[in-house]
Chain A
Amino acid sequence: MYGGVLAYVLAHTPRAIEGTGALGGLGALVLVFALVRANAALVAWPVALLGVAYAIALVVHGSSVDDGAPFVAGGLFLCAELASWSIDERLGIPAERGVVLARAFALCGLATASLAVAALAVALAAAPAGAGLAWTIVGAASAVAVVGVAVALARKAQEAARSRLH
């Protein structure tokens, strides 16, 4: 999955192939290292590196919207999820068929929803909309809101990690 996305990025940017290739290659090495060492905390880094490589490719490529962005998004998301699953399997906890199927269904559902949301985002970009200060403020506010949600989620995740079943 990671290789497929990397190949797409490299094919998309023949002019900056050295930079994107180096970032993607570094990400692949980190991913392999994370899988070999079963270190789930490292999984985010190769995905982030490939995301940066894609961003470079987009900037170098020009102003036209890349129609393959939803697939890149889905690919990166699946790559992260499958890597986490792979590392979980390394713990050696035999799971019932029902547990595996439930996780697979959840992953498929999330991947499909992700694809749809990403496609919607790209499609919305094609829609005619005004430009100017108001849109910039709305965009900035959305970004701040996302950061706020991320912080709140991180806090909740910490609390969940501390909480105990009783």
Chain B
Amino acid sequence: MAAAGLLAGLALGRVELVAVAAPFALAAVLAPALAREPRLQVRLDLDRERALETETVNARIALSAEDAAHADVLLELPSRLSADGDNPRAIAVRAGETRTVELALRCERWGAFGLGPALVRVRDPLGFFAWEGRLGGTVPLRVYPSVEALHALLSPLETQVFVGNQVSRTKGDGIEFADVRPWAPGDRPRRVNWRATARRGDLWVNEQHPERNTDVVLFLDTFTTAELGMRGTLDQTVRAATSLAHRYLQRKDRVGLVSFGGFLSWLLPASGARQLYRIVDSLLQVDIVLSFASRDVNVLPPRSLPPKSLVLAITPLLDPRTGPALLDLRARGFDLVVVEVSPVPFVDPGERELERLAYRLWRLSREATRTRYRHAGIPVVEWIDGVPLNIPLEEVASFRRYAVPARA
């Protein structure tokens, strides 16, 4: 514009046009003269690397500059995190000074995130030039799903040999009374049931149920998910798995994890707090990986599914590859329970008649699938978004109380 003005002034012989072009020419000359490539040091820190959902984590972005600079600072956040405070923000950094931008990050949803590097843009004093960059490195943040309080857990049909908190169905040394039987050589006198002995005239002794632990395998179907906004079946699956793992491990049981989907992963059953962290860290990595490869339980290592273990399958029953795998597990004699994470709340029935018909047919086909499982002796309960997990677990418990365990 300055050049055009000067040329026009020369061509028309008007000094006023030169005068009009002069400010623009002045700015065009001054700006590069004053502009210096900024030398910034940026460091990104979090006050902690682990947090629970709804908690707040403080992020600090420290900027130091060799020369004075005005910087726009933005910390890009995943959709599951939000910042309380201005992000981005324009700050002034004096030469040799270190300025800190503090952001309170609200952990809206669980997940494993890598925060940073921060986006920094520095302008020259006249705003003609801008330098942009990603600075400050990346820091990890793990947001764990909140744990739902479970009042009762499913008891397995069979327990393991190690001591635990689960009353075994077998008889042995324990606390819970099981039965009385005639005395036999080797029985300790303290086990004699004196009332029964007095009534029958012979020595009778008490029998107890021993307290044993159980192996629980959380079998997650990660083939596909139904989502609406930030909620979905995968989200519910992870929440349920976290709550169940937490509660079973509290009960001194061994818990394992199988993520059965496009990407296959597993954790061998173990107990203790460390196993809880392993499981939760593994759950944070769970994602839907689109794959057309067929899968069956043969691809799993045998140790990931120990004999006599209780297999809790958490599935939306959306992918046709899940059904045969579950029936296969049942056929192998595993104590299998299916918690169906209902995708129905996340599906729009549609407006048109044809869409509604398809929706009804889809729901009927789901009901047929459930019936097929029940006929195979597999308890299936539907867990709808918003309903506490206790309710479907109690449904399974009542089913198992009255149903005769089937032997495949």
Chain A positions near chain B (C-beta within 8 angstroms): 44, 47-48, 51, 54-55, 58-59, 65-66, 69-70, 72-74, 76-77, 84, 88, 93-96, 98-99, 102-103, 106, 110-111, 113-115, 117-122, 124-125, 139-140, 142-143, 146-147, 149-150, 153, 156-157, 160-161, 163-166
A74 contacts across to B, CB distance below 8 A: 23
A94 contacts across to B, CB distance below 8 A: 86, 89-90
Interface hit among B31-39, B44-52, B186-194, B282-290: B31-39
**Does B130 touch A at the CB level, under 8 Å?**
yes
A-B complex: 10 closest residue pairs judged by Cβ atoms = A165-B133, A114-B23, A125-B15, A95-B90, A69-B16, A77-B23, A98-B92, A118-B19, A160-B129, A69-B19
- Do the beta carbons of A165 and B40 come within 8 Å of each other? yes
- Do the beta carbons of A65 and B70 come within 8 Å of each other? no
Within 8 Å by CB of A118, from B23, B88, B89, lies B23
B22 contacts across to A, CB distance below 8 A: 73, 114, 117-118, 120-121
Question: 0/1 per residue, B68-105, Cβ < 8 Å to A?
Answer: 00101000000000000010111110000000000000
A166 contacts across to B, CB distance below 8 A: 133, 135
A118–B22 Cα distance when bound, in Å, is 6
- Do the beta carbons of B10 and A58 come within 8 Å of each other? no
Question: 0/1 per residue, B160-183, Cβ < 8 Å to A?
Answer: 000000000000000000000000
- Do the beta carbons of B131 and A59 come within 8 Å of each other? no
A29 to chain B, nearest CB (A): 19
**Does B4 touch A at the CB level, under 8 Å?**
yes
**Does B403 touch A at the CB level, under 8 Å?**
no
B91 contacts across to A, CB distance below 8 A: 95-96, 98-99
- Do the beta carbons of A110 and B26 come within 8 Å of each other? yes
B20 to chain A, nearest CB (A): 4
- Do the beta carbons of B12 and A102 come within 8 Å of each other? no
**Does B2 touch A at the CB level, under 8 Å?**
yes
A119 to chain B, nearest CB (A): 8
Name the residue in B21, B30, B134 with the highest tally of chain A Cβ atoms < 10 Å from its Cβ: B21
A96–B92 Cα distance when bound, in Å, is 7
A93 contacts across to B, CB distance below 8 A: 72, 86, 88-90
B3 contacts across to A, CB distance below 8 A: 143, 146-147, 149-150
B309 to chain A, nearest CB (A): 54
B95 to chain A, nearest CB (A): 13
B31 contacts across to A, CB distance below 8 A: 153
Given contacts A95-B90, A147-B7, A165-B135, contact A58 B12 (CB under 8 A): yes
Question: 0/1 per residue, B123-141, Cβ < 8 Å to A?
Answer: 0011111111111000000
Given contacts A48-B4, A110-B126, contact A121 B28 (CB under 8 A): no
- A-contacting residues, B224-276, CB 8 Å: none
B25 contacts across to A, CB distance below 8 A: 146, 149
A121 to chain B, nearest CB (A): 4
- Do the beta carbons of A121 and B19 come within 8 Å of each other? yes
- Do the beta carbons of B131 and A165 come within 8 Å of each other? yes
A146 contacts across to B, CB distance below 8 A: 2-3, 6-7, 25
User: CB-nearest residue of chain A relative to B11?
Assistant: A143
- Do the beta carbons of A55 and B7 come within 8 Å of each other? no
A72–B172 Cα distance when bound, in Å, is 103
A135 to chain B, nearest CB (A): 10
Given contacts A69-B19, A96-B91, contact A77 B6 (CB under 8 A): no
Given contacts A94-B89, A150-B28, A160-B35, contact A54 B133 (CB under 8 A): no
- Do the beta carbons of B15 and A121 come within 8 Å of each other? yes
Given contacts A72-B20, A76-B20, A150-B2, contact A163 B37 (CB under 8 A): yes
Can you sample 16 A-B contacts with CB below 8 Å? Answer: A51-B1, A59-B14, A69-B15, A69-B16, A69-B19, A93-B90, A94-B89, A106-B125, A110-B23, A114-B23, A124-B15, A146-B2, A150-B2, A150-B28, A164-B132, A165-B132
